């Protein structure tokens, strides 16, 4: 069966990311199967979209889906932080990050993102990236494993789980998702096994974050995107857990000189969307707009005139 990623909070994203002029450029930093990009290309006939994704396999699906838009759509196989770190093209108008993992990765990729399928323990978003999840569970020391599981998974039984992993691998390397899920199941207390989420959920999240360096990429990408924005341009970021949301929140706050935050509190999906697409329930959307003027600590604005001189006016 072929799955297509549901574009999370698409109505809200379309409401906030509106091109201000003909020929505007949107950079979809997490293209996935192209759901958000398709909505923008359909709505705005003169909008150009650059779609980034580190996973060549899922990007091929998006390219096929968006092939009818001709040169209005351009795909780049790259991690979004790497793209912005080396970007030297023209200024852009709109930037979108959807930091969620696509249904494709859980269901179709065969890379061990889900413990519901018995697959090789890989979890790499880019097939040619460095360490896979099996490398981590078989080589990291117990303390490092526990720290990762607690820090990136917020797992209360991280010490127990790390100890069980290290005990198991003394006799056999851990190679599949089922092996790891069973180790975790047996490591936690009995009453913890029958809660709303499977006891392996948080550990799998933590390993995926570690494998792909997900949290370390957020701030550099936001920095590069902000610098590449035209004045009046906007950045929208969809996150799915506090570990993602927190650096976005603090980045926007820290760059108050350059950015106006348009969402004082993050926007959450509607009840209808949560019902239609349950994975969207934890989503949060934050949006900021690049200032036309740079605000100073003294409450003044530096206005950049056409001749390059600077005038200071009261904010």
- Supply the CATH number for residue 31's domain: 3.40.50.150
Take residue 9 and report the two structure tokens written for it.
Answer: 């909070």
**Residue-wise pLDDT tens digits, 265-289:** 999 999 999 998 888 899 999 999 9
**Residue-wise pLDDT tens digits, 24-69:** 999 999 999 999 999 999 999 999 999 999 999 999 999 999 999 9
Q: What strand order describes the sheet that includes 25-28?
A: 73-77, 48-53, 25-28, 92-98, 229-239, 284-290, 259-261
- Residue 268 placed within a domain: yes
| 224 and 297 belong to one structural domain | yes
| 306 and 218 belong to one structural domain | yes
- Residue 49 placed within a domain: yes
Q: How many domains does the chain have?
A: 2
| 285 and 260 belong to one structural domain | yes
Per-residue model confidence (pLDDT) at position 315: 32
Q: Which range is least confidently modeled, 101-105, 174-178, 221-225, 253-257? A: 101-105
Kindly give the residue spans of alpha helices, DSSP state H, lying in the chain. Answer: 10-16, 35-43, 56-65, 80-85, 103-107, 133-139, 142-153, 158-169, 177-187, 201-212, 214-228, 242-254, 271-276
Per-residue model confidence (pLDDT) at position 297: 55
Residue 188: give its domain's CATH number.
Answer: 1.10.150.170
| 97 and 125 belong to one structural domain | no
Judge whether residue 196 has pLDDT over 90: no
Between CA 22 and CA 292 the distance in angstroms is: 19
| 21 and 78 belong to one structural domain | yes
Q: How confident is the model at residue 198 (pLDDT cuts 50, 70, 90)?
A: very high
| 206 and 220 belong to one structural domain | no
Per-residue model confidence (pLDDT) at position 298: 43
Determine what percent of the chain is predicted with pLDDT higher than 90. 81
| 174 and 43 belong to one structural domain | no
- Residue 84 placed within a domain: yes
Per-residue model confidence (pLDDT) at position 66: 97
- Residue 95 placed within a domain: yes
Q: How confident is the model at residue 310 (pLDDT cuts 50, 70, 90)?
A: very low
| 304 and 220 belong to one structural domain | yes
Per-residue model confidence (pLDDT) at position 105: 85
Q: How confident is the model at residue 227 (pLDDT cuts 50, 70, 90)?
A: very high
- Domain residue limits at 15: 10-104+214-310
- Residue 220 placed within a domain: yes
Q: Which of 177, 212, 247 is at the close of a domain?
A: 212
Q: How confident is the model at residue 128 (pLDDT cuts 50, 70, 90)?
A: confident
- Residue 208 placed within a domain: yes
Q: Which range is least confidently modeled, 62-76, 107-121, 164-178, 233-247? A: 107-121
Q: Which of 212, 229, 252 is at the close of a domain?
A: 212
| 28 and 82 belong to one structural domain | yes
- Residue 46 placed within a domain: yes
Average pLDDT, the chain: 91
Per-residue model confidence (pLDDT) at position 308: 39
| 218 and 207 belong to one structural domain | no
| 219 and 208 belong to one structural domain | no
- Residue 1 placed within a domain: no
**Residue-wise pLDDT tens digits, 87-100:** 999 999 999 999 98
| 58 and 176 belong to one structural domain | no
CA Rg value for the chain: 21
Take residue 144 and report the two structure tokens written for it.
Answer: 């490092």
Q: How confident is the model at residue 299 (pLDDT cuts 50, 70, 90)?
A: low
Q: Which of 189, 212, 235 is at the close of a domain?
A: 212
């Amino acid at each position: 069966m072929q799955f297509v990623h549901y574009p999370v909070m698409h109505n809200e994203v379309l409401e906030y990311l509106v091109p201000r002029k003909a020929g505007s450029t949107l950079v979809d930093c997490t293209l996935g199967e192209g759901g958000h990009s398709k909505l923008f290309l359909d709505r705005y006939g003169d909008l150009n979209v650059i779609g980034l994704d580190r996973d060549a396999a899922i990007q091929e699906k998006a390219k096929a889906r968006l092939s009818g838009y001709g040169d209005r759509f351009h795909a780049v196989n790259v991690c979004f932080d790497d793209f912005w770190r080396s970007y030297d093209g023209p200024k852009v108008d709109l930037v979108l990050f959807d930091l969620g993992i696509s249904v494709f990765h859980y269901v179709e990729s065969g890379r061990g993102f889900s413990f519901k399928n018995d697959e090789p323990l890989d979890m790499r978003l880019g097939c040619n990236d460095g360490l896979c999840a099996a490398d981590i569970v078989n080589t990291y020391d117990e303390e490092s494993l526990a720290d990762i599981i607690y820090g990136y998974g917020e797992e209360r039984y991280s010490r127990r789980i790390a100890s069980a992993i290290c005990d198991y691998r003394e006799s056999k390397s851990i190679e599949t998702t089922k092996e790891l899920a069973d180790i975790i199941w047996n490591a936690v207390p009995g009453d913890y096994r029958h809660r709303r989420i499977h006891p392996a959920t948080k550990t799998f999240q933590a390993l995926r974050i570690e494998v792909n360096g997900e949290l370390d990429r957020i701030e550099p990408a936001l920095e590069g995107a902000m610098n590449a924005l035209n004045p009046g341009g906007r950045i929208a970021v969809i996150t799915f857990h506090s570990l993602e949301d927190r650096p976005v929140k603090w980045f926007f706050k820290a760059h108050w000189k350059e950015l106006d935050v348009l969402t004082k509190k993050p926007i959450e999906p509607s009840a209808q969307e949560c019902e239609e697409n349950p994975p969207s329930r934890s989503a949060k959307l934050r949006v900021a707009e690049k200032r036309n003027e740079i605000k100073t600590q003294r409450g003044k604005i530096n206005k950049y005139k056409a001749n390059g001189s600077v005038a200071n006016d009261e904010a």
